[in-house]
Amino acid sequence: MFAALYTKAMQWAKHRYAVYWLALVSFTESAFFIVPPDVMLAPMSLAKPDKAWHYAALTTVMSVLGGVLGYEIGVFAFDKIAPWLLDSHYAAAFEMTQRWFSDWGFWAILVAGFTPIPYKIFTISAGVAGMALVPFILGSLIARGARFFLVAGLMRWGGAPFEAKLKQWMDRLGWSLIAVIVVVFTVMKVF
């Protein structure tokens, strides 16, 4: 199942509009969309390793711009989305990020770039918490940039041999990821 999805993602990564889709996914994921841009960035960087740094930079910039939208949602529209958010499976993550902003402020955004918690929760939380916009943008640039350049760099470094191994292991990796997600959500629900 996952190997077929991987093959399809590699085909999409080579599509002439793939860069535009990467930009759109990167922007929307930081404010409201579900799919993380890594899902497109990794295969695109594998498909065209000479453009990996360009893709990482584009993903970073668009993700930060989308993060500013999420921040603005938190500042100006939280009362409109609060009922949905607090009734969703994101409620525990939102409450945790509010505590993080209260305890760590700027450093919470740096941590956000590498956590499995959806980044949109952090962007909206930063707006709700009233974090200053400039540190929010700087922290987002650092954290998101580090993450996306790491992904693109690994894909560029691994190249075709890495792609062959990845395709071979895709089903195992996919099911393992689902198991990790189930465990994380179970632990979050229990605690």
Q: Where are the domains of the chain?
A: 2-190
pLDDT number for residue 153: 92
pLDDT number for residue 173: 61
C-alpha distances in Å from residue 62, one per residue of 15, 85, 145: 19, 24, 11
Tokens representing residue 105 in the block: 């402020």
What span, in angstroms and rounded, lies between the C-alpha atoms of 18 and 22?
A: 6
What span, in angstroms and rounded, lies between the C-alpha atoms of 156 and 48?
A: 8
C-alpha distances in Å from residue 83, one per residue of 69, 76, 88, 90: 19, 15, 9, 11
Asked if 55 and 153 touch (Cβ cutoff 8 Å), the reply is no
Question: Residue type at 160?
Answer: A
pLDDT number for residue 120: 84
Asked if 27 and 66 touch (Cβ cutoff 8 Å), the reply is yes
Tokens representing residue 23 in the block: 């930009």
Enter the pTM of the model: 0.75
C-alpha distances in Å from residue 105, one per residue of 98, 109, 112, 133: 9, 8, 11, 12
pLDDT number for residue 95: 82
What span, in angstroms and rounded, lies between the C-alpha atoms of 79 and 69?
A: 16
Q: What is the pLDDT along the chain (191 residues), one digit of tens a residue?
A: 555 665 666 666 777 888 998 999 899 988 887 778 887 888 889 888 899 999 999 999 999 999 999 999 999 988 888 888 778 777 887 788 788 887 887 888 887 776 666 788 888 888 988 888 999 999 999 999 998 998 899 888 877 676 666 666 656 666 676 677 677 767 767 76
